[in-house]
Amino acid sequence: MNAQVQIDAEVRELSYAEAIREAMAIALESDPAVVLMGEDIGTYGGAFQVTGDLIDRFGPERVMDTPISELGGAGVAVGAALTGLKPIFEFQFSDFAALAMEQIVNQAAKLRYMLGGEAEVPVVFRMPSGSGTGAAAQHSQSFEAWFGHVPGLKVVQPSTPAEAKGLLLAALADPDPVIVFEHKLLYKMKGPVPAGHYITPIGKAAVVRPGQHVTIVASAIMVHRALEAALRLAKEGIEAEVIDLRTVRPLDRETIIASVKKTGKLLCVYEGVKTLGVGAEISALVAESEAFDYLDAPIQRLGGAEAPIPYNPDLERAAVPQSPDIERVARQLAKGEV
């Protein structure tokens, strides 16, 4: 259990989707300013059943179905946040955020700054993200690098149910806009989740498996693939240190650099397109840091293919890093074969 638990709470097995729903329920209960907005989040319960039955519990004024209007919907959330509400806006797929970059990036991210600190925009954008569902090129993208490039935003990528809840509650407590990338393939994943309110801090990565031979920095579903690879490598005597990135913006330099100083070897694993994806920044921040002198081998990256996500399932799998890929490259790194 990786979430930073602040209270001595009962712990249950919940799915990632249930954990997110629980976080939203806590927020709706404790703060009348919280509203949920999004397409089909009411009666339908959300395309991925994340909001589920919240409409029955909190009514349509707190759980608002929006028309299919991503730009306008996001903008309504921004305007509401600017004036006293705390909206959690769900994009049905993160791909549709391409329609709302204006409001997220030109408005939400910059309003505090442009207004010299005289206003704030405490909005949360939830983004079901990633490939693996056979939904092809327009429903499978990983846009976290785009948002990670934007000052004024915070960007998180939970990899477990406990993190999903804790990071969403942290996002809600944050006075600035936060983008939450939820991986679609994780929604059904179960894991221990503390009851009640707790926060998983934004900006902190977690060492989810300690090791001394090679550092693997992974995010979202890649954390699990990296852990599987590390298990197999351990049988060969290779101890990989696996870091769950959790936050893309701001990056946790300290945790990453400390690990690389220990292992001397770095592999970045991410689902987004390799070029200019999250791993590019992780590599670059290590290469410019004091950890550079500790590097024993080139920094390796495994990212998404330089292609849209294909429909055919075999091609789709081949388009993003899988556990054997991670195992192979980590082994090469550890054995000095790179």
Partner 1 sequence: MMRDTTENIPFAISQFSPAQLREALRKMHLIRLFEEGAEESYMRGLIHGTMHLSIGQEASAVATCMELTDADKITSTHRGHGHCIAKGADVGRMFAEFFGKETGYCHGRGGSMHIADVKTGNLGANGIVGGGLPIAVGAALTAKRLGRDDVTVCFFGDGANNEGAFHEALNMAAIWKLPVIFVCENNKYGMSTAAAYATAVPNIADRAVAYSMPGVTVDGNDFSAVAEALHEAIARARAGEGPSLVENLTYRWRGHSKSDRNRYRTKDEIEEWMTRDPIARFRAELIAHGVLGEAEADAVEVEAKDAVAAGIEFARQSPTPAVTEVTKFVHAEVAA
Type of residue at 109 = A
To partner 1, the closest distance from the beta carbon of 200 in angstroms equals 17
Q: Contact at 8 Å (CB) between 20 and 171?
A: no
Which C-beta is closer to partner 1: that of 134 or that of 196?
134
Which C-beta is closer to partner 1: that of 38 or that of 158?
38
Going from the C-alpha of 327 to that of each of 57, 112, 237, 334, the distances in angstroms are 45, 44, 13, 10
Q: Measured between alpha carbons, how far is 318 from 209 in angstroms, rounded to an integer?
A: 26
- Torsion angle of the four alpha carbons 208, 214, 220, 222, in this order, in degrees rounded to the nearest 10: -120
To ligand TPP, the closest distance from the beta carbon of 198 in angstroms equals 33
To ligand TPP, the closest distance from the beta carbon of 39 in angstroms equals 5
Stretch that binds ligand TPP, among 91-99, 167-175, 236-244, 271-279 (CB under 6 A): 91-99
Q: Contact at 8 Å (CB) between 249 and 167?
A: no
- Torsion angle of the four alpha carbons 181, 91, 323, 171, in this order, in degrees rounded to the nearest 10: 20
Q: Is 68 in the site for ligand TPP (CB under 6 A)?
A: yes
Partner touching 20 among ligand TPP, partner 1, a copy of itself, none, CB below 5 to 8 Å by kind: none
Q: Contact at 8 Å (CB) between 38 and 46?
A: yes
Q: Is 92 in the site for ligand TPP (CB under 6 A)?
A: yes
Whether the bond between 321 and the residue before it is cis, its omega within 30 degrees of 0, is no
To ligand TPP, the closest distance from the beta carbon of 69 in angstroms equals 9
Which of 12, 25, 79, 258 contacts partner 1 by CB under 8 A? 79
To ligand TPP, the closest distance from the beta carbon of 122 in angstroms equals 25
Q: Is 81 in the site for partner 1 (CB under 8 A)?
A: yes
Partner touching 66 among a copy of itself, ligand TPP, partner 1, none, CB below 5 to 8 Å by kind: partner 1
Partner touching 318 among ligand TPP, a copy of itself, partner 1, none, CB below 5 to 8 Å by kind: partner 1
Residues serving a catalytic function are: 70, 139
Partner touching 80 among ligand TPP, a copy of itself, partner 1, none, CB below 5 to 8 Å by kind: partner 1
Comparing CA positions, the residue from 8, 57, 13, 16 lying closest to residue 36 is 57
Which of 96, 146, 147, 187 contacts ligand TPP by CB under 6 A? 96
Q: Contact at 8 Å (CB) between 140 and 104?
A: no
Which of 45, 152, 177, 194 contacts a copy of itself by CB under 8 A? 152
Q: Measured between alpha carbons, how far is 139 from 108 in angstroms, rounded to an integer?
A: 24
Going from the C-alpha of 143 to that of each of 50, 287, 288, the distances in angstroms are 20, 24, 25
Going by C-beta distance under 8 Å and a sequence separation of 6 or more, which residues neighbour residue 37? 64, 66, 73, 76, 77, 87, 88, 89, 90
Q: Is 275 in the site for partner 1 (CB under 8 A)?
A: no
Q: Is 283 in the site for a copy of itself (CB under 8 A)?
A: yes
To partner 1, the closest distance from the beta carbon of 206 in angstroms equals 21
**E-strand spans in 195-239?**
206-209, 214-218
**Which residues are near a copy of itself by CB under 8 A?**
71, 95-96, 98-99, 101-102, 105-106, 109-110, 113-114, 136-138, 145-146, 148-152, 249, 251, 272-273, 275-281, 283-284, 286-290, 292-293, 295, 297-301, 305-308, 310
